[in-house]
Chains A and B, each alone.
Chain A
């Protein structure tokens, strides 16, 4: 039987506010335990929440970025359950009237095509604290620094059909929130976390299969692997005549498998009801319009512009718009050198290669966009040839010079285009290579093309790589043929 996979993602994005969603405590990462948990975060008797404007603005910006409906009124509800990292015994969230309504995220697939994935809604809520399970005399320690950090939970429609699509969707969300600057998107620090709903159904069947929810999958790669494992597990189960149980599962990255969470708990009943300590949030049109007017260019728009205005291929446009940092770097290189295709080649070629080798992010590149742009410009105006350009790049990478021009000057890499100087070098090489000249002369005409390579190499060597290769080629051919 042919199976179809159906996937929906719930992505929790920590918003990059300075203070918490309902209190004035700092959201900075990595502080000593409980030093950033204020009276409100601890849920001390009598404390009350007040909503952070920046969290609202960031949620709305996300909504606008995915062309979502922004309802005029949204309401906070309480989700009631007991857990040590949940200080008040309820999480303040938005169950019935979320701040962001239905929208669309466009994902790009490996074959260069795109697909539109529906976002069901996105809502604001507060994060919980952390339970530390290392040994405190057999007890668990609770750190509430994270409690009250604003989260935007983005709930997709069940539109994803493969692990690859799910990963692409997650990357698209990552790219949107980092473009907007509403999250640092740091998955290692938990700024972006993901719950995955997976089910399978026979191809052609309309009804969804029973789904499993895989909790807290925290990297693009794990999302793919968790889904691949889960899909295989469910198909095997069904083909063996079994049934998928609706349950919550955990992904174990070490074993690369999902496993059922051992819960003896009876089904949860969260008893949602409107939080009486908070009033309805009403967004007037002027406020939303103001945020809309200040939206930066978003990844999909950038990708489109890179293709239509700059003439890049779909692949290049997609790679170069994947993160705001990458796109900003690329555009800066392009502005300095004046040629988008050359800029794209250098950023994706020499630069990305070097960054990958050293495991650096583009923001940490030792070669600045200005330096690279000037280097590309020098190739384009024939000041240096391609070979010398690589040398200049390496020099800049290792900090041996302030600019491409300085390196070219210091190393004497300026391309030699003076015909007389090149002819002199050619004459010397011909004079020094009687045997090779004889071979050339004796060879049939159609083989001479290949044999010229030796002479080119010698001339380039003599020029320490600075001779213009096209000129060398042409002049050599002329002179050798004259000898025949």
Chain B
């Protein structure tokens, strides 16, 4: 049961091969046995999961099953979940039991899914390796010495290891796509505003977006059907109809114009990764697509712009963690300033502090124009690069990351870690959707092909990814870790 897709599991549940309770118990058993080696979960919600599975089975018995009823999944520990610890990977929120549900959590529950628990992540979603978690690093099931990527590293590892068929992640600068690539699964970052941010612990509000991580593009489409849509509680969510994202999955690709941004194949890209991506593009050519070189001239400035905008927003978003209404509070504060300074010094980890300090500095008097305003201007140019490219081609393709998963502890310098996100970060600045699809292996570690589309082109991306998965079997490969422990 552990290597099936959501669609296959839904069919099996529908055919009565097993119940949601049996499936849930089986996967909870796997988590119990295997997650000690992975550390992909922060909290496993055994009781709630079984209760939800029973409710799903009962709904099915009444003939009220929908496409996701009874299907297990996991939530990144950044989604507020009522009555369940929601830590955002931080000591600051180690004691925070959320009093309310995020919109995404509500929608998934309403669709009948069964959450098995909350997955590990870089603290407040700040990181590209999951090494910044208060709950310790996550191991990559393909190679336990490797990182799973970040910040949604727990979600990616749990899916890859067959602990859950799918998981929810969030992506601020690549946090769904890069771990999906590192763990050999499929991960979609929707258009900014497509999925409600209400109840998702904020990192950088103008960049954050939630999305599905699963084994196939089809499963991502099923999940996006459930979570997309306008939310009256999120001013930045978009009032726009939600299509059935599974409807166009099989549409033929003949005539598809693929753009390859030349900046995505330059210096810093592992040549073996480049070859893998080019090989994938050749598959598309065989499916009738044409390939064109395009240019995104401001690519080089995406990381600098991001490291002004994201930390600035984060420095403000994280001011609410002050030890007064929730979260960590230091012992015996001498006075108010001591309460603030010590609670925050103790509650936040090093990378979070680093970004708060950058954001505070760049917003402060005398620096605002040179940093923040400049970065926002560059952000417009970066978005324009994409809009111009999509005048010429239907989708863009390139690597999701310049290298496959690196070893735990390999990147000690923050700037070199930041540069990992060179191919994913600009997408968040522009607000466009992107998907990472398994496309091969380098040195036994998975490589992801990233496909980008213009705003609200999710249907097209899922179609393009799905057709690739009909033509290849990279997404069907399972790590030995998952099989040895079946």
Whether A277 and B205, one on each chain, are in contact in the complex, defined by CB atoms closer than 8 angstroms, is yes
| A45 in contact with B206 (CB, 8 Å) | no
Give bound CA distance, A51 to B232, whole Å: 11
Q: Are A46 and B364 in contact (CB under 8 A)?
A: no
Interface pick from B39-47, B97-105, B155-163, B345-353: B97-105
With A39-B99, A39-B100, A82-B340 already in contact, the answer to whether A88 and B364 are too (CB < 8 A) is no
Contact residues on A (Cβ < 8 Å of other chain), bracket? 20 to 34
Interchain CB contact under 8 A, B198 and A48: yes
A208 CB-CB contact with B under 8 Å: no
Given the complex, which residues of A lie within 8 Å of B360, measured CB to CB? Answer: 271
Q: Per-residue CB proximity of A7-48 to B under 8 Å, as 1/0?
A: 000000000000000000000000000000001001111111
Contact status of A45 and B233, CB under 8 A, knowing A84-B324, A271-B316, A277-B205: no
Q: B102 and A46: CB pair below 8 A?
A: yes
Q: How far is it, in angstroms, between the C-alpha of A47 and the C-alpha of B319 when the chains are bound?
A: 14
Which one of A51, A84, A271 contacts B336 once the chains associate, using CB atoms below 8 Å? A84
Interface residues of A in 252-278 (CB under 8 A from B): 269, 271, 273, 276-278
The answer to whether B88 and A48 touch across the interface, beta carbons within 8 angstroms, is no
Chain B residues within 8 Å of A306, by CB: none
Give every chain A residue within 8 A of B197 (Cβ-Cβ).
Answer: 46, 48
Bound CA–CA A48/B236 (angstroms): 9
CB-defined contacts of B205 to chain A, threshold 8 Å: 276-277
Nearest B residue (CB) for A279: B235
Question: Does A87 sit at the interface, judged by CB under 8 A?
Answer: yes
Determine if A102 is an interface residue (Cβ-Cβ < 8 Å). no
Contact assessment for A271 and B363 in the assembled complex, using a CB-CB cutoff below 8 Å? yes
Q: How far in angstroms is the closest Cβ of chain A from B68?
A: 23
Question: Are A88 and B320 touching (Cβ within 8 A)?
Answer: yes
The docked-state distance in angstroms from the alpha carbon of A227 to that of B206 is: 45
A78 interface contact, C-beta 8 A: yes
Cα distance A50–B368 when bound, in Å?
27
Minimal beta-carbon separation of A199 from chain B (angstroms): 23
- Asked if B202 is an interface residue, CB under 8 A from chain A, the answer is yes
Tell me whether A89 is interfacial, beta carbon within 8 Å. Answer: yes
Q: Enumerate A39-93 residues with CB–CB distance to B below 8 Å.
A: 39, 42-51, 78, 80, 82, 84, 87-90
Instruction: Kindly state the separation between the CA atoms of A44 and B198 in the bound complex, as whole angstroms.
Output: 11
Q: Are B198 and A45 in contact (CB under 8 A)?
A: no
- Does B218 sit at the interface, judged by CB under 8 A? no
Instruction: Please name all residues of chain A whose beta carbon is closer than 8 Å to the beta carbon of B86 when the two chains form the complex.
Output: 45
Q: Does B176 contact A (CB under 8 A)?
A: no
CB-based contact B93/A48 at 8 Å: no
Cα distance A34–B327 when bound, in Å?
Answer: 18
- Kindly report which residue of chain B lies nearest to residue A81, judged by CB atoms: B319
For residue B418, CB closer than 8 A to chain A, the reply is no
Asked if A142 lies at the interface with its beta carbon under 8 angstroms from chain B, I say yes
Which chain A residues border B364 with CB–CB below 8 Å? 269, 271
In the complex, whether B312 has a CB less than 8 A from a CB of chain A is: yes
Q: Tell me the bound Cα distance from A82 to B372 in angstroms.
A: 21
* B331 interface residue per 8 A CB criterion: no
Could you say which residues of chain A place their CB within 8 Å of the CB of B325? Answer: 42-44, 87
* A42 to B360 alpha-carbon distance, docked (Å): 23
Rounded to whole angstroms, the CA-CA distance of A271 and B367 in the bound complex is: 10
When C-beta atoms are compared, the residue in chain B nearest to A264 turns out to be B337
With A80-B363, A84-B336, A269-B365 as known contacts, state yes or no: A45 contacts B319, CB within 8 Å: no
CA of A230 to CA of B93, assembled, Å: 48
Residue of A44, A87, A142, A271 ringed by the most chain B CB atoms within 10 A: A271
| B122 contacts the other chain (CB 8 A) | no
Residue contact A48 to B233, C-beta cutoff 8 Å: yes
Chain B window 221-236, contacts with chain A (Cβ cutoff 8 Å), 1 for yes, 0 for no:
0000000000011111
Q: A277–B236 contact, CB under 8 A?
A: yes
Per DSSP, are chain A's interface residues mostly helix, strand or loop, or mixed?
A: loop
Contact of B363 among A39, A43, A273, A278 (CB under 8 A): A273
CB distance from B193 to the nearest CB of A (A): 10
Contact (A88, B319) CB under 8 Å given A42-B325, A45-B88, A276-B204: yes
- Min C-beta distance of B9 to chain A, whole Å: 29
> Whole-angstrom distance between the alpha carbons of A278 and B320 in the complex?
17
Question: Which B residue's beta carbon lies closest to that of A140?
Answer: B336
Which chain A residue has the least Cβ–Cβ distance from B234? A48
Is there contact, CB below 8 Å, between B316 and A43?
A: no
| CB neighbours of B315 from chain A (8 A) | 80, 271
B326 within 8 Å of A (CB atoms) = yes
Residue of chain A at shortest CB distance from B79 = A46
Chain B residues within an 8 Å CB radius of A80: 315-316, 319, 363
Residues of chain B in range 191-228 having any CB-CB distance to chain A below 8 Å: 197-202, 204-206
How many whole Å from B161's CB to the nearest CB in chain A? 28
Q: Inside 8 A of A43's CB, which chain B residues have their CB? A: 320, 325
Q: Which residues of B contact A90 (CB under 8 A)?
A: 316, 319
Q: Which residues of B contact A277 (CB under 8 A)?
A: 202, 205, 235-236
Instruction: Closest A residue to B376 by CB, please name it.
Output: A274
Quick check: B324 and A45 within 8 Å, CB to CB?
A: no
Contact A46 B200 (CB under 8 A): yes
A48 contacts which chain B residues (CB < 8 A)? 197-198, 233-236
Query: Smallest Cβ distance from B357 to chain A, in angstroms?
Result: 13
A278 to B205, CA, bound (A): 10
Q: What separation, in Å, do the CA atoms of A45 and B123 have in the docked complex? A: 14
**Chain A, residue nearest B196 (CB):** A48
Query: A50-B233, A87-B320, A278-B235 known; A273 and B206 CB under 8 Å?
Result: no
B200 proximity list for chain A (CB < 8 A): 46
Closest CB in chain B relative to A63 CB, distance in Å: 22
Which of A42, A273, A279 has the most CB atoms of chain B within a 10 A radius of its CB?
A: A273
Cα A43 to Cα B80 in complex, Å, equals: 13
Partner of A142 from the list B198, B204, B236, B324 (CB cut-off 8 Å) is: B324
**Smallest CB-CB separation from B93: which chain A residue?**
A45
A44 to B320, CA, bound (A): 8
The smallest beta-carbon distance between B269 and chain A, in angstroms, is: 32
Assembly CA distance A358 to B315 (angstroms): 56
Give Cα A224–Cα B322 distance, bound, in whole angstroms.
39
CB-CB under 8 A from A278, the residues of chain B are 235
Q: Given the known inter-chain contacts A39-B99, A80-B316, please indicate yes or no for A279 contacting B201, CB distance below 8 A.
A: no
Q: Are A46 and B322 in contact (CB under 8 A)?
A: no
Contact of A89 among B100, B235, B316, B336 (CB under 8 A): B316
Complex contacts, B474 vs chain A, CB 8 Å: none
Would you call B96 an interface residue if the criterion is a C-beta within 8 Å of the partner chain's C-beta atoms? Answer: yes
Chain B, Cβ-Cβ closest to A51: B235
CB of B80 within 8 A of CB of A276, answer no
Interchain nearest-CB distance for B320 vs A (Å): 4
The interface residues of chain A lying within 8 Å CB-to-CB of B204 are 276
Chain A CB within 10 Å, residue with most, of B80, B100, B235:
B235
Tell me the bound Cα distance from A279 to B192 in angstroms: 13
| Other contacts beyond A46-B198, A90-B319: 13, CB < 8 A | A44-B100, A45-B86, A45-B201, A46-B98, A46-B202, A48-B234, A50-B233, A50-B234, A84-B324, A271-B316, A271-B360, A276-B236, A279-B236
**B-to-A contact residues, CB < 8 Å:** 79-80, 86, 88, 93, 96, 98-100, 102, 197-202, 204-206, 232-236, 312-313, 315-316, 318-320, 322, 324-327, 336, 340, 360, 363-365, 368, 372
Can you give 23 A-B contacts (C-beta < 8 A)? A43-B320, A44-B98, A44-B100, A45-B86, A45-B88, A46-B79, A46-B98, A46-B197, A48-B198, A50-B233, A50-B234, A51-B235, A82-B340, A89-B316, A89-B322, A90-B319, A269-B364, A271-B315, A271-B360, A271-B368, A273-B312, A276-B313, A279-B236
Closest 4 CB pairs of A and B: A89-B319, A276-B205, A271-B363, A276-B206
